[in-house]
Amino acid sequence: MSSIQKVGVVGCGLMGRGIAQVCAAAGYDTVVREVNQDLLDTGLGAIRKQLDRAVEKGKLEAEVRDATLGKLSGTVSLEDLADCDLIIEAIVENIEAKKDLLGVLDRQSPEHTIFSSNTSSLTVTEMGAATDRPDRFVGLHFFNPVPVMKLVEVVRTGSTSQDTFDRAFEFAKSLGKVPVACRDNSGFIVNRLLVPYMLDAIRGFEEGIGSIEDIDTAMKLGTGYPMGPFVLGDFVGLDTLYYIAEIMFDEYREKRFAPPPLLKRMYLAGYHGRKTGKGFYDYSGDEPVVSDFVL
């Protein structure tokens, strides 16, 4: 049984809020940190809304919701994470931002604290090497939406100790997730296969194989995927997908990982998907419609 009792989650965006929710629901004292109060309130509000909806649907007891919220607190101060047994970093997919953050956390955290990153594509080894605890550094890669998706990729670097890996693996199980072991290759298992597929859908659209809606419908109904590639891109966030593609292209130097010109332009124009209200689809009406950028 893991000795982890208090978990610090850094970032309360799409992923951080889901990770904080599942940690609190599993009974861990959980503190989540954002850069400012507005973003923190948005993230915590989304957690409350999701739990309330589950109660309304009769899928969750009101007492369980209250117990989860009772285990969860939010902060804008990194110092409030100084006594955590496990830190899960879930901030923007940018190596410099992550290394800056990890340096501060490393200096203030007790020796036993395990550090982990939810990175989609960055090198876990590089993050571990930016701290004085590379042996206590591991990748914990959750999937969106975290409360629903069962998988966690547990990423071991050449420096990760067996004890750290085992405890991270057990921790993922204690959240009710199914962990799989991965080596520290950019994209691990899932994104190594999924990201080229999503990028290829965009290239296919650029080449005229079909409309956005028809490609989505074809992949959904023709393969049984729950979402077509453009709906999924908007769901992941086109800013995040763009960062991931740049990082994976840099790692593998293969065209299939390169961000297509359209993705780059949508990123630059602020069409980041659901989180900004517009991506491949426009979410401002009752039902999503194809957005003006790709008409």
148 touches which of ligand CAA, ligand NAD, none (CB within 5 to 8 A by kind)?
Answer: ligand CAA
Structure tokens at 291: 């957005």
Closer Cβ to ligand NAD, 7 or 101, answer by number: 101
Q: Which residue is nearest to ligand NAD (CB)?
A: 13
Q: Is 186 a catalytic residue?
A: no
Q: How far is the CB of 272 from ligand NAD (least distance, A)?
A: 8
19 is a contact residue toward ligand NAD (CB under 6 A): no
Count Cβ atoms below 10 Å from residue 270 Cβ, excluding itself: 13
CA–CA distance from 155 to each of 131, 133, 144, 186, 278 (Å)? 17, 15, 17, 11, 33
Q: Which residue has the tokens 């978990």?
A: 7
97 is a contact residue toward ligand NAD (CB under 6 A): yes
Query: Which amino acid is present at 205?
Result: F
Instruction: Build a one-symbol-per-residue string for 144-183: x at contacts with ligand NAD by CB under 6 A, - elsewhere.
Output: x---------------------------------------
Q: Characterize the bridge pairing of strands 72-75 and 29-33.
A: parallel
Structure tokens at 19: 């990770």
Q: Tell me the window of 32-40, 107-115, 198-206, 285-293 that interacts with ligand NAD (CB under 6 A).
A: 32-40
193 is a contact residue toward ligand NAD (CB under 6 A): no
**Binding residue (CB under 6 A) for ligand NAD from 88, 236, 238, 263:** 236
Element (H, E) at 261: helix 261-268
16 is a contact residue toward ligand NAD (CB under 6 A): yes
Q: Which residue has the tokens 């990748």?
A: 139
221 touches which of ligand NAD, ligand CAA, none (CB within 5 to 8 A by kind)?
Answer: none
Structure tokens at 226: 């729950």
Write down the catalytic residue from 109, 120, 121, 291.
Answer: 120
Alpha-carbon torsion angle 84, 86, 92, 97, nearest 10: 70
**d(Cα 177, Cα 143) in Å, to the nearest integer?**
10
Q: Is 191 a catalytic residue?
A: yes
Q: Is 9 helix (H, G, I), strand (E, B) or coil?
A: strand
Which positions from 102 through 131 interact with ligand NAD, judged by CB under 6 A? 118-120
Strand partners, 289: 282
92 is a contact residue toward ligand NAD (CB under 6 A): yes
**d(Cα 152, Cα 169) in Å, to the nearest integer?**
9
Count Cβ atoms below 10 Å from residue 153 Cβ, excluding itself: 21
Write down the catalytic residue from 153, 186, 246, 272.
Answer: 153
**d(Cα 229, Cα 164) in Å, to the nearest integer?**
35
155 touches which of ligand NAD, ligand CAA, none (CB within 5 to 8 A by kind)?
Answer: none
Q: Tell me the window of 137-145, 165-173, 202-210, 222-230 that interacts with ligand NAD (CB under 6 A).
A: 137-145
Write down the catalytic residue from 191, 246, 272, 291.
Answer: 191
Q: How far is the CB of 208 from ligand NAD (least distance, A)?
A: 28
Closer Cβ to ligand CAA, 57 or 253, answer by number: 57
Q: Write out the catalytic residue numbers.
A: 120, 141, 153, 191
Interacting residues toward ligand NAD by CB under 6 A: 10-16, 33-35, 39, 90-93, 97, 101, 118-120, 142-144, 236-237, 240
